[in-house]
Amino acid sequence: MLRISATLLQAFQLYSSTDWFDEPKLLDAIKGTVVSTPQMKIGQAFHSLLEKPQLNLDGVYERNGLRVVPAANASILERLPEGGVFETKVVKTVGQTREGDDLVLVAKAEYIAGLHVCEFKAPLNGQFDAEKYERSVQWKMYSMLYGANRVSYHIACLKQDDGLLRLRTLDSMDLYAYPELERDVRELVREFLHYLRSRQLDSYLRKEVSAL
């Protein structure tokens, strides 16, 4: 099978449509080379603390050396629909490649309640950009693979203050499926497959079924 994750397809979309996401970054994503950045570490710690908040003796949340004031987490948690679960994965076969591989799309939602998927972003010193999230193929894959009727982004823009990560702004936006959504996802998948073949990179995504 050929396995394409939502994260990887989004990386290809950024490479295809922006100047800042260059080919070496895309190649790292395809090859599974993890280049950790300070922003990635903040995002991972923040997401982990949303799922399993742990106060330290100073009364703040702490994970991997990062300290987050409780209000930053609480502000997002209170916006989540009740009864959901964190970190669920969906795997769906959507056809075959011309080489005869099953074409498998994979996504992992950070939080899902019924047919409502939620994603969290925690940029440091960043700003909310609604158009950026609306253009992203990530939420479209969630809608397609989970059958979600709504995908919500919660963007907590953080600031560093005296060794603590504090909430500067919090914005939320809801996105909904449209009639051509699946067609648009499949078209981007086709473009990505063409890129992989032209660079002879498809072997990096060819997996055994047990690897799912």
Angle at 80 between CA 79 and CA 82, to 5 degrees: 125
Nearest in space to 66 (alpha carbons), one of 36, 42, 48, 39: 42
Residue with tokens 């823009």, as numbered in its chain: 157
Beta bridge partners of residue 111, listed in sequence order: 86, 118
The two beta strands, 85-96 and 66-68, are unpaired
Across 47-51, 56-60, 92-96, 165-169, least confident range: 56-60
CA distance 182 to 200: 26
pLDDT of res. 209: 60
Parallel, antiparallel, or unpaired: how do β-strands 116-121 and 102-113 relate?
Answer: antiparallel
Task: Parse the chain into domains and list their residue ranges.
Answer: 37-187
- Side-chain-side CA neighbours of residue 66 (13 Å): 24
Quick check: 87 pLDDT over 90? yes
Question: What are the pLDDT digits (tens) for 39-74?
Answer: 888 888 888 889 887 777 778 888 888 888 888 888
pTM for the structure as a whole: 0.90
Q: What's phi and psi for 85, nearest 5 deg?
A: -130, 150
**DSSP per-residue string spanning 126-184:** ----HHHHHH-HHHHHHHHHH--SEEEEEEEEEEEETTEEEEEEEEEEEE---TTHHHH
Report the alpha-carbon distance of residue 17 to residue 189 in Å, rounded: 15
| pLDDT per position as a tens digit, 111-164 | 999 999 999 999 988 889 999 999 999 999 999 999 999 999 999 999 988 888
The answer to whether 14 and 197 have CB atoms below 8 angstroms apart is no
Are 122 and 46 contacting, i.e. CB atoms less than 8 angstroms apart?
yes
